Amino acid sequence: MSEVEMYEDLEKLVNTVEDIGKLNITVDEDTHTVSCENSPYTLTLRHSDFDTEKELDRFIKSCERLVRSSPEYRIWTSYIRDSLGYHNCEVTGEQHSQTTVDIHHHPFSMFAIVKAVILRNMAAEKDFCSYDICEEVIKLHYEMKIPFCLLVSSLHEKFHNGFFLIPMELVHGDTKIFMDKYFIHLDEDEQQTITTRLAINRNNCGWKSYKWIESDHGND
């Protein structure tokens, strides 16, 4: 970039800053809200509700992606596998070092977890941004309040396609925290899905051909 081009870019930046200064912008640092006398709209960091279900759904999915892509979540999954020893598929016994073995949230999906956290904040009339929600979800994981099981990727996919039921005997962790604090905030369909999953056990899951059913673990 030539000196002339650099000067022109700097001049544009200065003009932009000067233009902003003329807008009579007010910033409330306590609420992280920006307002301007030339506009009827305000810019706020945090939400209290959503205008449509579509907006809520988009926000949930965004938070879910943030959680899954965060360093904290990756550290949690590594701890589950490497320190706590959960690295084998609960059904086939295959190891994560041999093939892909996923940590599957059950009976509460990650989507349901994030949604319930958001709706609980809304019910408490507590303003929030996506980072507030993600922090709460991550804390629930680190406090081991999110139940999970380990599934080889093919069975994980089979479950999400609706062709595989997971006995609750395979699930690690306490479901009580989520049921007590968050379950009530989900809609009827989501509650029914979770209730149905909670009722699945090794006697009514509909499959008998896996080693787990015939093992000592399956007869506990």
28 plus 59 within the same structural domain: no
Q: Can you count the helices (H) and strands (E) in the chain?
A: 9, 5
Q: Give the pLDDT of residue 44.
A: 76
Does 103 lie in the same domain as 27?
no
* 192 token code pair: 């029914």
Q: How many domains does the chain have?
A: 2
Q: Indicate if the pLDDT at residue 93 is higher than 60.
A: yes
Domain shared by 17 and 112, yes or no = no
Judge whether residue 122 has pLDDT over 80.
Answer: yes
**Whether residue 134 is found in the same domain as residue 104:** yes
Alpha-carbon span 158 to 208, nearest angstrom: 16
pLDDT for residue 35: 66
Side-chain-facing half-sphere of 174: CA atoms under 13 Å: 9
Domain that holds residue 126: 53-219
Q: Which helix (H) or strand (E) holds 192?
A: helix 188-198
